[in-house]
Structure 1
Amino acid sequence: MAPHRAEKRHWLNRNVLAIGLTSLFSDLGHEVATSILPVFLAGLGAAPWALGVIEGVADGISSIAKLSAGYASDKTGIRKPIAVVGYIVTAVATAGIGLAVVWSHVLVGRVLAWLGRGARSPVRDAILVDSIEPEDYGKSLGFERSLDTLGAIIGPAVAVLLVGILSNRTLLFLTLVPGMIAAGLFAFGVRAAPATKPAMHLKVSFRNLPVKFRWFLVAIAIFGVGDFAHTLLILRASQILQPQLGDAASQWAIGLYLVHNLLYAGFSTPIGALADRVGKMKVLTAGYLLAAVMNLGFILNPTTVLPLFFLFALGGLFIAVEDALERAVAADLLPEHLRATGFGALAAVNSIGDLASSMLVGFLWAKVSPAAGFGYAAVLSLLGATFLFLLKRTQDRSRISTHGS
């Protein structure tokens, strides 16, 4: 059943709330697994580079699901069932990682989980954007990110509390519970209208994406190849704190990641609301610059908890900006009948960037030094911010020229 028009006009309607709660429970399970993954892999005898390979390959392969699911949704008009299946696959595969006995088993589980995430993401975003008004994109998407990140706060908190009580395998198995709750919330709480117009052939559909949106994807790609998975921050903090704190270093590292996610959750909605007022692309550019500052901070090799606290805080702030506003800018640039395809392309570009960045940062980390990996990420963050700034100036000049004529 399609949402009523009156419901669409309010920025916080049934779909926004239901999708936000779905994201909360889904990310709760995901973040429990993410928080303990570095320690779990170490227990399997995996080298540090294995984490980068796992995160990178999983993200890269999930890009196929994102492209395919977005296009299939626009072409067939089917949205909700694709998303529900994606949530179920993610829940089962994440819990299945607990069965791993070698790191390649973790890779398989992570890939399957991220295929599910990939399938659901563009469809979920299309349903969400179709349920709100354009002037509320930043605020509503920021709210959804806030609830998503509330799950990302609860997840590491659960991991910190239970990591010394339950085995890592048991914790992984337990992630099935919030994952299936998320699938149920989406299935029974979300009302999804079918796509308004069938998409054309995949190649034609992408060719019809607006030129401004395609240039925006270029900026996303430049930034993305330096935007590595933040599980590497947990690993780096554990390494830095190990000499001082011993076995407690991993718990402190997860605690810092909790701070990261607290700020991510707390600032997603305010940042979205601010961007709705002052300009989404301006705020997104500032977020990319924050990423560069965070990476430069890790190059300085902090050795105590306090500077690490500030670096993790910066990481949470820039992720709040990135996650809410990349989609909000995309929503402004995409026509309604190509939204799922466009969101799929956006998610796929991000996933390919994650593949490249996590593997390259992991490689530089292992073969040169951690500073080399963070330095590479800092350069790409600055380049992405610069390209986005220039793109915004070009669009502003084009708009002024059009109005002047």
Structure 2
Amino acid sequence: MATDDEAIGVGDQFRRFLALESDVLILSVAMFAFSLGFQMTGRYLPEYMAVLGATPFVIGLYGTFGNVISAVYPYPGGAFSDRVGSRYALALFGLLSTLGFAVWLAAPLIGTVEVAGLAVEPWLWIFVGLVLAQAWKSFGLGATFAIVKQSVSEDRLARGFAGTETFRRTAFLLGPLVASGLVFVGGGDLLPGFYYVLGIAVAFGAVATTVQHVRYDAGEDTFGAEFEGLARVARDLRALPDELRPLLVGDTLVRFANGMVYTFFVIVITRFLEVDVTLLGYYLSPTVFFGVLLGVEMVVALLVMAPAARIAETLGLKPVVALGFAVYAVFPALLIFAPDSPLAVALLFAFSGLRFAGLPSHKALIVGPAERDTGGRVTGAYYLVRNTLVVPSAALGGALWDFVSPEVAFTLATVVGLLGTGYFLAYGREFDAYA
């Protein structure tokens, strides 16, 4: 984490990463491995589903199903971890995630099967795999926020989150590029290259699960007696600081807008704009080029997060968060109406990377007002509300794409996102430590 007189850069983060205590380093490596697996696979799964015969509406339902999992997993995941201890919880979550990758890999081999007289299409196994693959991500969201809050002075929270995000987003950078390279090696179309991607994800998950279970020292683990259930959740929701409510409203609208279209970004590139390019004498199909675009986006993200966190210490958190919201909002309309020019689309994805400039400040604004030792519960309650309200967004976007038009779906997403950004600008409150 940053000290009061040090600037944090990408190089600083990795040097400090290597100096972490053994247990934290092991868990960080596991987080990197699973994040890499998710990023290699997740952004291409909508195209994979389309290849397996799914319609845009079904792909939208998949996005909404993912939203449901994101909303409901963290609380029971955290309760289970408290009950059995981190070591065994992590091992189980890692095993389930690895099995999820394997189900995705096996989906085309299973093919169409009949269950009780109904034909089960191969794309349905992508839903089954998602239930398993998301298990590892259910661990530790609130704990991560709380640890940063306890380790960094209040006026350096954004810099602290910039450090943790740098590591996670490095996997976000490498994952799509690795996937793109394997698809290229496989001939340019999604298959068979995506089979290689899924195979590597299974291998990474298995190795990470084994290493974290064998090497993680559970001596400091604590064990809870029981989960307090919905009463605890209700108390945490009522206890959300008043300062967070305008942020929560604006954030929810912006994330709802993004959720309407996020699943379809790969479809826009591969099937709507059909943007391909020849680089250094190598032809990159639209499917391969999409991975390169994600790499461009994440390079910009890695470059801007730490400087934006420093800027927030002068200007405040609110303007930096609003910038991120604004980029989220306008990107869908810019993308759907973009010319089918590789350069224009690449510049758009570079612009999209600017939305991550606000991410560390956004996290600081969430956890900052929380009382000490309550950061985890405040974070969990905040994300429970936001993620629950965002659940139907992808299904709505898929229905608009399938039954109206892609242009309407993406334009409406931008309108909703701008409403959220405007609401936050009008009513959002600054965290006192940055005011």
**Given the two structures, how large is their TM-score scaled by the length of structure 1?**
0.82
8 Å CA contact 2:180–2:290 kept in 1: the answer is no
Residues 5-20 of structure 1: pairs in structure 2 closer than 5 A: 14=20
Q: In structure 1, how many angstroms separate the alpha carbons of the residues matched to 2:301 and 2:334?
A: 19
8 Å CA contact 1:284–1:326 kept in 2: the answer is yes
Q: In structure 2, how many angstroms separate the alpha carbons of the residues matched to 1:335 and 1:194?
A: 22
1:305 to 2:325 alignment = no
Q: In structure 1, how many angstroms separate the alpha carbons of the residues matched to 2:217 and 2:363?
A: 19
Residues 143-292 of structure 1: pairs in structure 2 closer than 5 A: 143-165=163-185, 167=192, 168-183=194-209, 188=215, 201-228=232-259, 230-242=262-274, 248-292=285-329
Aligned to 1:133: 153
Closer/same/farther in 2, CA of residues 135 and 18 from structure 1, 3 Å limit = farther
1:40 to 2:48 alignment = yes
* One-letter code aligned to 1:224: R
* One-letter code aligned to 2:73: A
The CA deviation string for residues 171-193 of structure 1, in whole angstroms up to 9 with x for no partner, is 21320233345556766579978
* One-letter code aligned to 2:312: A
* One-letter code aligned to 2:105: G
Closer/same/farther in 2, CA of residues 81 and 206 from structure 1, 3 Å limit = farther
Larger deviation: 186-195 or 372-381?
A: 186-195
1:394 positional shift: 8.3
Larger deviation: 303-312 or 13-22?
A: 13-22
1:24 to 2:55 alignment = no
Aligned to 1:335: 371
Alignment length, in residue pairs? Answer: 386
Closer/same/farther in 2, CA of residues 67 and 116 from structure 1, 3 Å limit = same
1:278 positional shift: 2.5
Structure having the higher Rg: 2
Alignment gaps of 5+ in structure 2? 1-7, 109-121, 187-191, 278-282
8 Å CA contact 2:268–2:336 kept in 1: the answer is no
1:161 positional shift: 1.4
* One-letter code aligned to 2:248: L
1:67 to 2:75 alignment = yes
Closer/same/farther in 2, CA of residues 66 and 230 from structure 1, 3 Å limit = same
8 Å CA contact 2:64–2:392 kept in 1: the answer is yes
Q: In structure 1, how many angstroms separate the alpha carbons of the residues matched to 2:91 and 2:371?
A: 24
Percent of residue pairs identical: 21
8 Å CA contact 1:299–1:371 kept in 2: the answer is yes
Task: Please identify which structure carries the higher helix content.
Answer: 1
Residues 102-117 of structure 1: pairs in structure 2 closer than 5 A: 102-117=122-137
Q: In structure 2, how many angstroms separate the alpha carbons of the residues matched to 1:17 and 1:325?
A: 25
Closer/same/farther in 2, CA of residues 129 and 88 from structure 1, 3 Å limit = farther
The alignment partner of 2:53 has SS state of coil
The alignment partner of 2:54 has SS state of coil
8 Å CA contact 1:145–1:269 kept in 2: the answer is no
8 Å CA contact 2:247–2:428 kept in 1: the answer is no
Q: In structure 2, how many angstroms separate the alpha carbons of the residues matched to 1:394 and 1:134?
A: 13
Q: In structure 2, how many angstroms separate the alpha carbons of the residues matched to 1:130 and 1:82?
A: 24
8 Å CA contact 2:96–2:132 kept in 1: the answer is yes
Q: In structure 1, how many angstroms separate the alpha carbons of the residues matched to 2:419 and 2:291?
A: 30
Q: In structure 2, how many angstroms separate the alpha carbons of the residues matched to 1:77 and 1:136?
A: 34
**Given the two structures, how large is their TM-score scaled by the length of structure 2?**
0.77
1:105 positional shift: 0.7
Alignment gaps of 5+ in structure 1? 1-9, 401-405
- From 91, 104, 108, give the equivalent of 2:98: 91
1:124 to 2:155 alignment = no
8 Å CA contact 1:148–1:265 kept in 2: the answer is no
